[in-house]
Each structure stands twice: as C-alpha cells, then as structure tokens.
Amino acid sequence: MSKKRVYLFREGSASMRDLLGGKGANLCEMTNIGLPVPPGFTITTEVCTEYYESGKALPAGLMDEIKAAVTDVETKMGRQFGGSKLPLLVSVRSGAKFSMPGMMDTVLNLGLNPTTIEAMIAETNNPRFVYDSYRRFIMMFSDVAFDLSKHGFDEEIFSDYKKKVGAKTDLDLNAEQMKEVSTLFLKHVKDHIGRDFPTDPYEQLALAIEAVFRSWNNDRAIYYRRTEKIPDEIGTAVNVQSMVYGNAGDDCGTGVAFTRDPSIGTHEVFGEYLMNAQGEDVVAGVRTPVPISELERQSPAVFKQFMEMSKTLENHYRDMQDLEFTIEHNKLFMLQCRSGKRTGPAAVQIAVDMVHEGLITKDEALLRITGSHLDQLLHPRIDPESLHEAKLLAKGLAASPGAAVGKAVFDADRAAELGTHGGNGEKVILVRDETNPDDVHGMMASQGILTARGGKTSHAAVVARGFGIPCVAGAEALAVNVNARQFKVGDVVVKEGDTITMDGSSGSVYLGALKLIDPEVSGAFGELMSWADATRKMKVRANADNPRDAQQAVEFGAEGIGLCRTEHMFFEQDRLPIVQEMILTKDEAVRQAALDKLQIVQQGDFEGIFEVMQGKPVTVRLIDPPLHEFLPNFDGLVAETTELKTRIELGQKGLDEQLEAKTTLLHAVEGMKEANPMLGLRGVRLSIVFPGLVVMQTRAILQAAAKLIKEGKQVFPEIMIPLVSTVNELRVVQLQLEAEAKKIVEEQGVEIPYMFGTMIEIPRAALTAGEIAEYAQFFSFGTNDLTQTTFGFSRDDAESKFLGKYAEQKILVRNPFETLDTVGVGQLMKMAVTEGRKARTGLKCGICGEHGGDPESIYFCNQIGLDYVSCSPFRVPIARLAAAQAAIQDTVKHTTDK
C-alpha cells in the first residue's frame, strides 16, 4: 500500500490508474504534458478502502494532508480557500480506475459561504453569476452529502419559481432572483435535515469527500459494476480541482467533446457546448447544447486551441478521447480526458482507421473491441418499405444507433419490471424528459431510450451508446407527463403501453410498430474480422438446428456446426403427432412405421443443412431430452380430464370417447413422469432403451450425406452421443450405430467420412475420459449440463432463486451458467482433454454449451487447447474475435514468462 495518500496533479502520471483512478491519472498526465489544467490533487483509491474498513470514517491525519495540498493549490492560483479576498472554490469528483460515467457523485463550486460570496461579487462585479453558482452548489452538495434529491430543488423549487416570475430558462433570472432562489434552497435544506447548511469550507470539503466515497456503493454504481464486471474492491479516488467558471458571462462556457464521432467513428471532432453554463447543464440536458463547430464562429482562437489540444491528446493516448473543457473569459481549460465510450460501429471503424493511420497495431485494434461492440453491429434497422405509410411523431438527435420497437413506459422501475433488453420480457421503450444515473437499471431493461431534452453527450446518450441501446435524445416536440404516464406531440397522445418505433441512427420516432430488418455487416467490420481470423488458433462453429440458422451462421463466418439438436426438429407442428404416436404405441409395427415417417423428414432436414454448410463439418447430436417433453403437460391433462368428468356428471352427452382418449394419454404421460427428468431417461440412456429411435436418426444423417456426395458435394457428418457417464454406455450404442453405418455405406455405394463422438457433460465422463476416448473420435463439452452436474445446481431454480444472493455476498463472482467456472468445471474439461488425447492422438475437442459464445470462457478454452468453440449464429463474430484475443494474450503471456 502506498504511504502517500494525496497527490498533486504534477506528482502523478497516466501509469498510476490503480492508485489515482482514471480521471486523476489523466489530469496528472495532461498537467505534465503542458496542457491548461486547473490545479488540484487526487486522494487515492486506497483511502476509499480505508474509509470502508474503518466503518465509514475518513482516516486519521488525512485532512492534514488535504490542507497541505490545498495550500499548494492556493499558491498556484493566487487565491485562498474560504478567503475574504480572491477566494478559491473547488470541484470534488469521483474517479475509479475504470470509467463509470455518471455513476458516482460530483460537487461543483465548493467553498461558497456568506464570506466568499461577498468576496466573489466584489471581484467579478457579477452577483448573478455568484448566486447562480451558489444555488448550484447548495443543490449538488445537499444531494450527495445529505441525500436530498436534486428533484426537490430543481424540479420543484426552481421550476416553480421560474413559473412564478415568468422565466422560461435560468438565463432569464437576474441576480436578485438567483439570490432569492438560493435562500429558498437553504430553507429547504434546514427544513429537511434540521441544521443550517455548512459554511466552513473545510467541513464542506470533508463531507463532500466522504459523499464521493459513499457513492462508490450507491445502487447505480453497484449495478453498473456488475454489468461491466468491474471489481467491487478497487474503490474510487477523489479529485479536488480548482474551479474555473463557464457560467461567469457570455464569454464563458463549458462543453464535452470526442476526438472522433462516438456513434459512427468518423475522423472528426464531435461535441457540444453551452455558453454561460456549467458542466452539469450539458450532460444533464438542462438546456439543449450547440455543436462544437459553432465555437469556430463564436471564438475562433479558442476553437483553434481546442482542436490542437484534441489532436495532441489523441496522439498521446493513441485512442479516441472524451474531453471536458471550460472557457473562462475566452481562456480554455481542460478538465478531463479519458478513452471515450463508443458504439460498436464506431469502435470497429476507429480501430481499423487507427491501424491505417499507424497509431496502433492490428493486435491492439483487436484487443480494443469487445463482444458487446460487435453485438451492436448486429442491431436491426427499420425496413425502408414500412416507412412509406409510417406516422412520424417527432425528430430528435441520433444519439445511439439501431432501431427499436416497444411499448412506451415512463419510469425506470416500470421499465425494469416489464422489460429485459435482449431477453424474454416485454419489449419496452423508456420515455423521459431526460434521464439521470438513477434510471440506469430501467434503461438497460429497455429496447430503446427516448428523451425530450438533452444532446448527444447527455446522460441518456452516453449510457445508451455504452451498452448498445438505441437512443433518440432531445426530441423537443415531445411534451412528457410522467405523472399521467403519457406524452403528447401536437394533438397525438401516446399513453403507457402504446407501441412506438424509434430509430437511434436517424433520430426519428414513429407511432406504432414498424418492420425491422437485420443489418448487413461489411467494410471495417469485415477487415477487422479478417485480422481476427488470421490471428486465432481455434475454429469457430455455430449451434444450428435448421438450414435457416445454418445459413445465418455461415454468413457470420462459422466454420462448421458444433451442435445440431435433432429433437428440435420433432417439435414442428406436422411432426409432433408422429413423434407422439411413436412414443405412446405398444405395437412395434406401428412404432416402426412412425419411425420410418420421421426418417424421411429428418433426412430432408439434414440434406438442407449439409447443402448450406458446403463441406464444413456438421456435428449432429442424437436425441437428448426425455420423451415426456414431446407429450402434453401432465398437470394440463389432469385438469382436462377432471373438467370432462364434471361435464359428463352434469349430464352433457357425447364426451365419453374424448374422456377415454384423454385418460389413456394421461396414464401414458404419468407412466413416463420422472422425479428428476434432467437426470433420468434421456441422452444415451434413451438410446439404449429405445434403440430404434437413434438407428433411425443415424440412417437419416448418413443417407442425407450419401445423397449429396453422389451429387459431387462434400459432407462431413459427426454423430454425437449425448450424456455418457460410462464407457460401456458409449460402447453399446456406438457399436450398434457403427454397424448400421456400415450397412448404409454398403447400400449407398459411396464412402461417407463420418465420425462418432460424445458429449462430455457428466463429471464421471470427464474423470474417465481416457477410457471413453478409446471409442469416441471426438469430444464436445456440453457445459450447460456439465455446470449443473458439477455444482449440483438446477439452472432454472438457481438463477431464479439464489444465484443473485450468491453474487451479492460474493459466494460466486460470476454466474457459472454465463461464464465458465474455470476452477471446477474448467478443471474437469482440462483433465478430459489431457487424458482423452493420451488415449487417442489428435482427439478433436470442442465446446457447444452457451459458454462457447462468452469471451472469458473462450479464453480458457484456448488455454486448454480446444480445437473449436460453438455458439449461436449471432455470437459467431464475437467468438471469432474472442478467439483472436485469446491467441494474442497467450502470445504475450508466453513472451513475458520467458
């Protein structure tokens, strides 16, 4: 642990992110390369840890170190903290190692009190500016230090006051009115906390620092960290910086900018600013800002200097930068720089462009792209044909790309309750005047975000872009009424539950549901993927059960099918009656006739899949789930038979045959009912008890392959026997199917390059992999079931009942069904690969569980030497990238180890 707890900006550097946080480290770096940064200091992340370990108290002696740092800043600025002449005011901001925009707390204008107010008025001769700063300080400080919501100040007291005096915006208020607002704010504080607002600047500073440390564990920060997989224990630094004032007059301003467009990645500075405003006004959407290009007209010298600094910082950090700046009486100050949050399309475009510009290498470009970035490239867009008769409601700013359709909802809690972004809940669009950090949970549960106020750098826009959620901001035609749960555009009223369509790429909002179409990925995406493919060692396959999914997988770069689930084909409406007949009959001739019918349709399915895959390997899993899944629900049948009996008892005629049929079906289903079906008659066990079923499937697979081979096409079928726990199960089934395969080859008169293998999804199979590899020609890890059986968890029950508590209490750091448990499940996999390849040289090993599309899990798969990963078609590009990143990281590790 570092002994030094407070660092002046000139004492740190960009390499000290762990200790000073990202914001503090970058403020130090900008200071040291000579940019105009208001002086200040950073309190380290270690102090945050001490704060929590000591029961939420500032460590002994810290305030003495802080006072020494303040003295240094006073000297630099020629001002005095709390002084009656030339007073020094400061901002207090959070700053963790990883960027968490808007998740923690900020205080501006700290140090204002009756003494410093009079001194500033005397210095500036601008009482309106001073009281504007004071009312902002009271509101922000009370929000973070006393937990008094900004809403009570801004939306109630301030808004009511503006209405009372006929002011449309805060700029319409004069000095006396701002002073009166400040007095109302002070009264609000005393009424609610029972004490006067603090006037001692050092008390203010201590309370603000504590508030920032506390904000590390506020609900929105915790939620953000869990989503972004940021460790809880790293803590936040606190940055205390001299205030410069963007609200001191018409030659002052504040803004946020990016050195490249964060939405689409074009190489041009993108940003917004407001004159006579403070930073919160821009990001909170209080006033709609103007594009940065307007600054060139308004203040050419400042604009030129800003553009030069933007270039300097981007070249220095070799990445697109997010910049915050203030102009004070035509003098430019840099308040922050960090690697800018960007959309998926922008991330890819910027990475590829920077390689061409010589700023970064191809490996660096690949490492900068995340799976979520690529996922965003797959966002749908509105079908142009559906726009001809679409009713345009409003136009706003295109703040985050992609189109979305959903029901309008008007508060974050409701959005979180109804929607699950990308999940199985209702599709909702969160509609707000503007969003704030407390809305994040609802934003992430929404298909899209629509705000009436705010710009492209507003909270809504930044968060939406960061998580790949379509967003339209600043749609000023919307009159949002949260209490009535509706918005109006002219005469049109949209109520909660009404469906709207929004396009975050154009800023358009439409009434009703428009048709969306899938995106086309090419250009920079294709180039980046070609670099990934040239770098990775593992192949990438897809899980696909029909020709349509197989085609999608090939288009996204799949090199084969790692899992084709044959039972999914049985659930189609025209086939289910045949399957049920096959299961329920006791007549072997009837059962065989049903199997013969199924063989014809299954062969057609496989022909379609093999045709699409054009010589790429296709792993077909023989039937896996228990047979009762193909039959009607037992409880439903009980209810139906009970109802029929009741109706017959009441005298209704003509129901006897129906009751007899339902009762027979009920008894059959009851006979197949199992106490624990996931560990019951399924997988290889089903193949042993009902051998005719898998013989039929094997014949359908190989006859389909033979047909295409005769047509001069290449086919490589791999037949996979699931849920094996002992080598004898595999031996019995495989020898039977091998005999059937030889018959088919002889009948068809062509050689078929088939393989037989097994899924490793039971711990015993992994532990005895050496024996199993004597028969299996390939292993595929079914990590969904392997995770269930290793942990002893039922996935559905675990995720709904206790995994959330496990995460909160850090019993499990990750949900093991989303990210592979490398310590337990992973070790079984590693053992199986090692022992399997000892028994069979060159044994092909892959993974086909959902983990095959998770980047962290893919890294582990690369480490243990798997030949391929297999995932859903839309995850294929993500898996290709993750496999390349794993190869790069592996190379770096081996180089470092040497």
Residues serving a catalytic function are 459, 848
Token output for 301: 């010298």
In 614-655, where does DSSP find H-type helix? 634-649
Q: What is the C-alpha to C-alpha distance for residues 437 and 256, in angstroms, rounded to an integer?
A: 18
Q: What is the C-alpha to C-alpha distance for residues 830 and 625, in angstroms, rounded to an integer?
A: 27
The enclosing H or E element of 736 equals helix 727-748
Q: State whether residue 270 is helix, strand or coil.
A: strand
Amino acid at 101: P
Strand partners, 328: 331
Distances (CA, A) of 659 to 92, 276, 580, 583, 665: 75, 80, 18, 20, 10
Which distant-in-sequence residues (6+ apart) come within 8 Å of 749 by Cβ?
none
Q: Do 836 and 773 contact (CB within 8 A), yes or no?
A: yes
Q: State whether residue 651 is helix, strand or coil.
A: coil
Strand partners, 543: 563
Q: What is the C-alpha to C-alpha distance for residues 637 and 653, in angstroms, rounded to an integer?
A: 20
Q: What is the C-alpha to C-alpha distance for residues 229 and 518, in angstroms, rounded to an integer?
A: 29
Between the two ends of the chain, the Cα-to-Cα distance in Å is 28
Token output for 435: 């969003």
Q: Do 839 and 774 contact (CB within 8 A), yes or no?
A: yes
Burial of 196 (0-12, 13-18, 19+ CB in 10 A): exposed
Q: What is the C-alpha to C-alpha distance for residues 142 and 682, in angstroms, rounded to an integer?
A: 62
Q: What is the C-alpha to C-alpha distance for residues 447 and 440, in angstroms, rounded to an integer?
A: 13
In 259-370, where does DSSP find H-type helix? 279-283, 294-298, 300-317, 344-356, 362-368
3-state SS, 243-268, equals CCCCCCCCCCEEEEEECCCCCCCCCC
Task: Name the one residue in this structure whose structure tokens are 């509105």.
Answer: 382
Q: What is the C-alpha to C-alpha distance for residues 384 and 378, in angstroms, rounded to an integer?
A: 17
In the chain, helix, strand, coil percent, each to 5?
Answer: 50, 15, 30
In 194-218, where does DSSP find H-type helix? 201-215
Q: What is the C-alpha to C-alpha distance for residues 373 and 396, in angstroms, rounded to an integer?
A: 24
3-state SS, 549-591, equals HHHHHHHCCCCCEEEEEHHHHHCCCCCHHHHHHHHHCCCHHHH
The sign of the CA dihedral 570, 571, 572, 577 is positive
Query: Strand 492-495 vs strand 381-382: parallel, antiparallel, or unpaired?
Result: unpaired
Q: What is the C-alpha to C-alpha distance for residues 73 and 91, in angstroms, rounded to an integer?
A: 13
